[in-house]
Amino acid sequence: MSLLERHRNIIDFALSSLGRRWKKNLALTLVYAFIVFTLASVIFFTEAVKREARAVLKGAPEIVVQRLMAGRHDLIPAGYIDILKKITGVGQVKGRLWGYYFEPSTGANYTIVASGDPPLEPGTIAVGQGVSRTLHAAVGDLIPLRGTDGAYVSFEVARVFSHASELVSADLIEMPAADLRALFGVPAGFFTDLTLKVRNEKELVVVADKIRRLLPDTRPILRDEILRTYDSLFDWRSGLLLVVFAGAVAAFIIFAWDKATSLSMDERREMGVLKAVGWKTSEVIAMKSWEGIIVSLTAFFGGILIAYVHVFFSSALLFEPVLKGWAVLYPRFQLIPHIDPYQVLALFFLTVVPYTVATVIPSWNAATVDPDSIMRL
Amino acid sequence: MFGRKSDIFFVGVALGAAALGLMTAHADYRIAGAGPSLMEKAALVERLELTDLCLFTDARYARHPSVADRHSAFQDSPMSAEHFPSGTVVLPPPHLCPQ
Amino acid sequence: MVELKHITKVFNRNRPDEFTALLDVSLLVRAGKVTVFKGPSGSGKTTLLSIIGAMAKPTSGRVFLEGKEITSLSERFLTEIRRRTFGFIFQQFHLIRGISAIENVMLPATTTGEKHATLRDRALRLLDLFGLSAKARSRVEWLSGGEVQRVAIARALVNNPAVIIADEPTAHLDTRLSMDFLGIMERLNAEGKTIIIASHDPLVYESGMVSRVVEMRDGEIRGPRQSA
Ligand SMILES: Nc1ncnc2c1ncn2[C@@H]1O[C@H](COP(=O)(O)OP(=O)(O)OP(=O)(O)O)[C@@H](O)[C@H]1O
Ligand SMILES: [Mg+2]
């Protein structure tokens, strides 16, 4: 009880003390909160994308077989399907047809995929929201696409993929396989790549090995690898964002360090007065710790809450320039928030503890002054 | 008379903690409500046999990182000299990295 | 109340600038009296006050507080004793700038674990006693010299100490404020407080309320060893 009361009193004084240099302390807290905000935004964003990728891509083909020619991805002969089917453990083998389409008038890149099941009517397409936005196309509109022979072919938009699916469908144009072949000039008997279903998941690696031996000009890609791609893709430790940001953090550390370590003459005198009027060394240090805790805790709460709003309510507005890059077509998606308590805890310890320690350590010296020194000032 | 200054601190911490709690609750709420949209996306992935998320559309390796070319210049590694900003975020897929 | 036995204080011992500020000082300060240390600058008054007030430890000799030796106590205990027994008024008053008068007054009791409300009431009553209740929430740098002095006295009194120690309290005050100060000290003494003042201001040591004047020179007590 009296311990609580004592610390409440000390917090009273610490707040008064911070209030005296409120402009400086406010600036410090804001900069600090901004750093927490950026870190937390990156963590929230990458974690959410990773989770989404894992959940959504669970249904991706178990193995994709690409043919490589001269080191580049090339069309794969349909004859390979029968060869692959003979491998024990392999279930279904299907040919996939897809490609990229650059639209010169808008400057956007689309992904054209062959229609799945049920197939689209000939001459019709289904488009993603991003395609619809950039081409101002709605259901029923005709969209001309330029074929390999230079002639334009018009397709009728039969369907627009929902907003909810934008994270996978924004730039998609789905069209009947025959139309795709005609548009891109893919010869009959060839596919873009092949997809495999394997009966027993445990055999994936063995099957991949067999494929590599049986068809040396191909490359099997496992779904596991795809999922791992997304993990490493958004691994938050990587990326220029954080590299650039590291500079800001370093600047802040220097700033905070300077502020914390160089106690002003006034502050030293005050600590002497506190000692003289009967504060123990430990109490003076406790007061300084509270100062540090108040500043860093405010920054922590502020930063993390604004980061949450930023990533999950404004769809990471500030990251958009980086994510968007040169792309004309930018998917608009609402990520599903996921908060990892360990990451929040780690962020807490990375922000509150170092700052508090940085405030306390330089005070140590000043707090151990002899109380009588104040009598000679 | 006047509230104590430490009360401001305690109220602030309580509010901050409550806001964190609210944030977690909101996240849970959104996760619970995300089922249909996840299912829709998963169904689309399965139907069209998609392999990648549509996050970047500016480069092939960024749009479809999992099936990117292995050997062509400027496409294997975001660390290589290329001019797309997304290359700073996209890492080479693990199956393209030397073990 | 406080007894000093053969107190010597040496600064910078074993260094070229070694300096003996107090030499073999023995003294008994009686409870309930007003004792004044007078002497020229550098004679060791402040040093002596800091040893009496348990702020500094002597190089040799022993200090007794109400019969108990406190010379060998650790800093923690000394602080505890100092906080309970002594109220200090410094030469420059040393109020903490930027915070209010009442916060300054509460400072010595901030870390005792006392309830905030009672502490606050006590501080308010003290300020009221000195006609400062209107200034309780003012920042101290806005106060006049006389107000600063009275806030400093209020701060010295907040823990209800038995002994008030004042070092050159009138050095920065004009005659009227000095008289005010002495009036307050007289009142406190009448209430039973022991008062110890270091001063070379005649106004102080010639004042009628002073029970005993101890003259110091070069770190030693001069004249007859009287004890009032
Ligand atoms: N920390 C120290 N280190 C070295 N010398 C010191 C120290 N503190 C005090 N002294 C010396 O001790 C002597 C006595 O100092 P003290 O402050 O007690 O004198 P004083 O009687 O209070 O003088 P004044 O009337 O000017 O306040 C002085 O000569 C001073 O220089
Ligand atoms: Mg002096």
Q: Is C199 in the pocket of ligand 1 (CB under 6 A)?
A: no
pLDDT band (50, 70, 90) for residue B1: very low
Three-class SS state of B66: helix
Query: Burial letters for B25-57: b for 16+ Cβ neighbours within 10 Å, e otherwise?
Result: eebeeeeeebeebbebbbebbbebbbbbbbbbb
Q: Is C46 in the pocket of ligand 1 (CB under 6 A)?
A: yes
Q: What is the structure's pLDDT at C228?
A: 40
Residue B76: pLDDT above 50? Answer: no
pLDDT band (50, 70, 90) for residue A349: confident
Average pLDDT, chain C: 89
Q: Which residues of A touch B46 (CB under 8 A)?
A: 59-60
Q: Report how many helices (DSSP H) and strands (DSSP E) chain A contains, helices first.
A: 13, 13
Q: Check if B36 contacts A (Cβ < 8 Å).
A: yes
Q: What is the structure's pLDDT at A161?
A: 92
- Choose the closest CB to B40 out of A162, A195, A222: A162
pTM of the predicted model as reported, rounded to 2 decimal places:
0.81
Residue A173: pLDDT above 80? Answer: yes
Mutate to test the pocket of ligand 1, among C15, C46, C167 (most ligand atoms within 8 A of CB): C46
For residue A300, give how far its alpha carbon lies from the nearest alpha carbon of chain C (Å). Answer: 27
The residue with greater pLDDT, A262 or C123, is C123
Q: Do A199 and A159 contact (CB within 8 A), yes or no?
A: no
Atom of ligand 1 nearest to the CA of C200: 25
Tokens of C164: 């008030």
Residue B73: pLDDT above 80? Answer: no
Question: Is A375 within 8 Å of C107 when comparing Cβ atoms?
Answer: no
Most A-contacting residue of B30, B63, B89 (CB-CB within 10 A), to test interface: B89
The residue with greater pLDDT, B71 or A120, is A120
Q: Is C189 in the pocket of ligand 1 (CB under 6 A)?
A: no
Strands A152-160 and A124-127: parallel
Q: Is C15 in the pocket of ligand 1 (CB under 6 A)?
A: no
Residue B78: pLDDT above 50? Answer: no
pLDDT, one tens digit per residue, over A295-313 is: 999 999 999 999 999 988 8
pLDDT band (50, 70, 90) for residue C152: very high
- For residue A118, whether the previous peptide bond is cis, meaning omega lies within 30 degrees of 0, is yes
CA A26/CA A12 separation, integer angstroms? 17
The verdict on domain A63-221 having CATH code 1.10.760.10 is: no
Residue A237: pLDDT above 50? Answer: no
Tokens of B10: 């305690």
* Residue type, position A303, single letter: G
Q: What is the structure's pLDDT at B87?
A: 59
Mean pLDDT of C155-171: 91
Torsional class of A100: left (φ above 0), alpha (ψ -120 to 50), beta (otherwise): beta
For residue B1, give how far its alpha carbon lies from the nearest alpha carbon of chain A (Å). Answer: 15
Q: Is C170 in the pocket of ligand 1 (CB under 6 A)?
A: no
- Choose the closest CB to C90 out of A13, A20, A375: A375
pLDDT, one tens digit per residue, over C9-66 is: 999 888 888 999 999 999 999 999 999 999 998 899 999 999 999 888 899 999 999 9
Q: What is the structure's pLDDT at A238?
A: 46
pLDDT, one tens digit per residue, over A309-326 is: 998 888 777 877 766 666
For residue B83, give how far its alpha carbon lies from the nearest alpha carbon of chain A (Å). Answer: 9
List of residues 6+ apart from C112 with CB closer than 8 A: A6, C83, C159
pLDDT band (50, 70, 90) for residue B77: very low
Q: What is the structure's pLDDT at C100?
A: 92
Question: Is B53 within 8 Å of A323 when comparing Cβ atoms?
Answer: no
pLDDT band (50, 70, 90) for residue B79: very low
The structural domains of chain A, with segments of one domain joined by +, span 3-57+232-375, 63-221
The Å distance, Cα A185 to ligand 1 centre, comes to 100
